[in-house]
Structure 1
Amino acid sequence: MSEAQEKQIRVANGWQSQILTRITSMAALAEWVKSAGGGAGQEAPAPPGAAALDEGISRHLNAARRIAQAGRRGGARRAAQVESALANLQAADELLLRRAPIDYVKGRLPDIHSDVCKYLDEHDPRRIRVETLVRFRASGDPPLTEEHRELVIVAVAAAHSHSRQVYAQARSFQSLILASAAALTLLALLLGLWGVRSPTDLALCFNPDQKIVCPTNETRFEAANPVPPGTDVDEVVSAQAGAGDIFLVEFVGLLAAAVSGSASLRKVSGTSTPYHLPLWLALIKLPTGALTAVLGLMLMRGGFVPGLTALDNSPQILAWAVIFGAGQQLVTGIVDRQAHSVLNNVSGKPHGESQRPAVE
């Protein structure tokens, strides 16, 4: 490894460092295979098409290096960058399995078996054949043949293809979370501006015991303007709404969402993947809490909750805003579980069924 490459690895972030290190290792291995010809540890005639395989391995490794050394990007662009580099690394690995001596394939069998079990279904015929081969090897059957090599390469290619699909699904899920967070934030902002522009349209005021109670003020009903005969009392109540009522309730709901959402961090573990789903999930809770606080109080004012249609004072309104804001966890908790499943798939943690022996 050159000094420039060593420096590049040192200054790279997590995923870049992993990919660059893997590229360096595979490049050294490919050079050893090329110099050893077709043998293992000694000079031997190169197999047919070896020059084409060597060129393909080098091309894929160089492509992966260029992608990994490109400028740092964020969000979906960085995820796509990782997926492209990973695809080139996997392609180089498949060519190396075809180019290397059969003893190299034999040494890789446990690693290949693990990857196949992680990414292929227990009923997949390619997984079944690989597991059968591993069992036969454990029982001391004849050594690996070229036919076995082809079987292993096909299974590895299938596992690699499925792993790339998992990465693509994670990137799509992350993009969905980011778009949802942006949309909810915009909705919360527009709702607050609507409350500033037309306070009476979205009044969060109540009328208990001859009082008008709003998030930012309380007024005795007798002190208000007299109610002409036939006038709807709700109109008088709404007229007392303040321009900052909606923003205040949203802010309280946001704080409650931040506190309740922090409890979900206890289940979050660090990840070296390019997907920062826990971070984006924590951010999406904030506008969700702001909106649920406002919507919850609207339901109470509309009589949707029996017995809670007339709050007595402003602190009670804000207290219920806290409850409704924290209640966003009921909604986002479902998304948390889905994100946890997606991260497990990306990190290669096997599901229960993948740990079982393949079914023939």
Structure 2
Amino acid sequence: MVMAIAESPTNGVHSAIGQAHQDCLEGTLWRGLKSGLPEGCSRTAPWRQAAQHRRILLLDDLAGLDLGKTPCKMQTRRYLIDDLLKDANEASCARVTPLKWWWGTEIERAWSRLREVEERMVGLVDGATLPVYAARAAQRGHAYLDYADPQLAQLDKLCAQSDPPEAELRSATAEVLRAAHAKADHANREARYLRNRLLIASVFCVVFSAAIVVAQAAAPTLNFVVPHDDWHASAWGCLVVVMLFGAVGALFTAIPAVSRIPTNVGPFNLPLQQGLLKIAFGPLVAVVGLALLGNGIGPMKPPQTVPDLLLMAVIFGAGQHAVTRYVDKRAGQILTAAAPTTASNSTNRNAASTA
């Protein structure tokens, strides 16, 4: 159909479009313009949808390139479509095993291919379209790179010129894109590493809490938390209730961390892992705090009633924030680095970082 339109003398515009894309009609380009996600993935992880959306946009940009009769550029476009974007599509549709989820294998694979396509496309666009790509690269550079970055400064200088040298502008655009992508990838890797460490710490806290309960049940005469006379259940039952109220106290401090989730974060949910660590760590702090009070260590008196005991467990559970706030600070730094800033506050952020 496209060839018929191209041969019609009354359709000059369609003829030009058909001629420009004739070399791509038999490849995967036009079949790839729709999402490669199966129908069962409509409710899948957001990163898959984001990767597919970006892949489709890149396919559309590649389809709109006017490469003329340059075989080298046509071959490069074919490589970007049939190899890199195809691999990105396969990665975004691949089954993620627990090990791949832990290391971020598929998401790293998908976005590395997409970003490589963006960088290589700078060498394919014509001179008239190049300033548009340079402006996009400069915007991304200001979002991720330092204000005094020499590559970004060179690109800004070239963009400010009315007629910059094409070769220099093309090279500076590609270099800024590579630097911005490297900065974003590094921030996402740091977020994933911190997420994994928080998960390990949370698992250890849960294991230690379970071990304390088992030890209390195995040795009824050895009380980690001394039950009062008005407590008529078992000693390990008292310990479980204390841990539960300690987790409630920790939940109070987890709510602010979860509520501060930025709207433009990466794919690794650090605030959720922060909250889980606080809730898992709260019961241990509650048990240790009440054990110290029961042995007369500290300025406060031991609780005299069950309500006082549970209230102190909540207070000690919330007190775990004194330890986990260092984790909150590190997570905030990573989230700030991973989330791109807008043009209005990019200068303020970089000025603050150099102050």
Give me the TM-score of the superposition, normalised by structure 2. Answer: 0.78
SS in 2 for 1:244: helix
Which of 13, 28, 37 matches 1:8? 37
In 2, Cα distance between equivalents of 1:93 and 1:105: 13
Structure 1 window deviating more from structure 2 (77-86 vs 160-169): it is: 77-86
In 2, Cα distance between equivalents of 1:272 and 1:122: 21
Shift of 1:324: 0.6
In 2, Cα distance between equivalents of 1:67 and 1:98: 25
SS in 1 for 2:163: coil
1:97 aligns with 2:126: no
Q: Which residue number in structure 2 is paired with residue 20 of structure 1?
A: 52
Amino acid at match of 2:228: V
Q: Deviations over 1:195-242 (max 9, x none)?
A: 11124444322xxxxxx8368359xxxxxxxxxxxxxxxxxxxxxx82
Shift of 1:171: 0.9
Q: Deviations over 1:84-129 (max 9, x none)?
A: 2111001111111111112222112222112112222233321221
In 1, Cα distance between equivalents of 2:282 and 2:319: 7
In 2, Cα distance between equivalents of 1:110 and 1:4: 25
SS in 1 for 2:284: helix
In 2, Cα distance between equivalents of 1:70 and 1:14: 14
How many percent of aligned residue pairs carry the same amino acid?
20
Contact 1:215 1:248 (8 Å CA) reproduced:
no
Which of 281, 289, 299 matches 2:282? 289
In 1, Cα distance between equivalents of 2:274 and 2:268: 11
Which of 84, 92, 100 matches 1:60? 84
Amino acid at match of 2:37: Q
In 1, Cα distance between equivalents of 2:69 and 2:265: 41
Contact 2:35 2:56 (8 Å CA) reproduced:
no
Cα separation, partners in 2 of 1:129 and 1:294, compared to 1, 3 Å = same
1:250 aligns with 2:243: yes
Q: Which residue number in structure 2 is paired with residue 314 of structure 1?
A: 306
Q: Which residue number in structure 2 is paired with residue 225 of structure 1?
A: none
Shift of 1:63: 0.9
User: Unpaired segments of 5 or more residues in structure 2?
Assistant: 1-29
Contact 2:249 2:315 (8 Å CA) reproduced:
yes
In 2, Cα distance between equivalents of 1:214 and 1:19: 61
1:50 aligns with 2:65: no
Shift of 1:299: 1.7
Greater relative contact order structure (CA < 8 Å, 6+ sep): 1
Give me the TM-score of the superposition, normalised by structure 1. Answer: 0.77
Q: Which residue number in structure 2 is paired with residue 162 of structure 1?
A: 183
User: Unpaired segments of 5 or more residues in structure 1?
Assistant: 38-43, 206-211, 219-240
In 1, Cα distance between equivalents of 2:266 and 2:145: 21
Cα separation, partners in 2 of 1:157 and 1:311, compared to 1, 3 Å = closer
1:134 aligns with 2:177: no
In 2, Cα distance between equivalents of 1:262 and 1:15: 25
Contact 2:245 2:314 (8 Å CA) reproduced:
yes
In 1, Cα distance between equivalents of 2:230 and 2:210: 18
- Point out the structure with max Rg over C-alpha: 1
1:213 aligns with 2:203: no
Shift of 1:352: 5.6
Amino acid at match of 1:5: K
Cα separation, partners in 2 of 1:215 and 1:321, compared to 1, 3 Å = farther
Q: Which residue number in structure 2 is paired with residue 235 of structure 1?
A: none
Cα separation, partners in 2 of 1:215 and 1:289, compared to 1, 3 Å = farther
Give the 4+ runs in structure 1 shifted more than 6 A: none
Contact 2:36 2:93 (8 Å CA) reproduced:
no
Cα separation, partners in 2 of 1:131 and 1:302, compared to 1, 3 Å = farther
In 2, Cα distance between equivalents of 1:320 and 1:336: 24
In 1, Cα distance between equivalents of 2:104 and 2:312: 40
Contact 2:147 2:347 (8 Å CA) reproduced:
no
Q: Deviations over 1:6-58 (max 9, x none)?
A: 4738725422122112111211221332xx22xxxxxx342x73244224312
Contact 1:119 1:354 (8 Å CA) reproduced:
no
Which of 203, 214, 224 matches 1:182? 203
Which of 193, 205, 208 matches 2:214? 193
Q: Which residue number in structure 1 is paired with residue 21 of structure 2?
A: none
Correspondences of 1:209-288 after superposition (within 5 Å):
213=228, 216-217=231-232, 242-270=235-263, 273-288=266-281
Q: Which residue number in structure 2 is paired with residue 332 of structure 1?
A: 324
Structure 1 window deviating more from structure 2 (180-189 vs 24-33): it is: 24-33
Q: Which residue number in structure 1 is paired with residue 337 of structure 2?
A: 345
Contact 1:83 1:167 (8 Å CA) reproduced:
no
In 1, Cα distance between equivalents of 2:348 and 2:38: 37
1:145 aligns with 2:166: yes
Amino acid at match of 1:70: A
Q: Which residue number in structure 2 is paired with residue 29 of structure 1?
A: 61
Contact 2:33 2:56 (8 Å CA) reproduced:
no
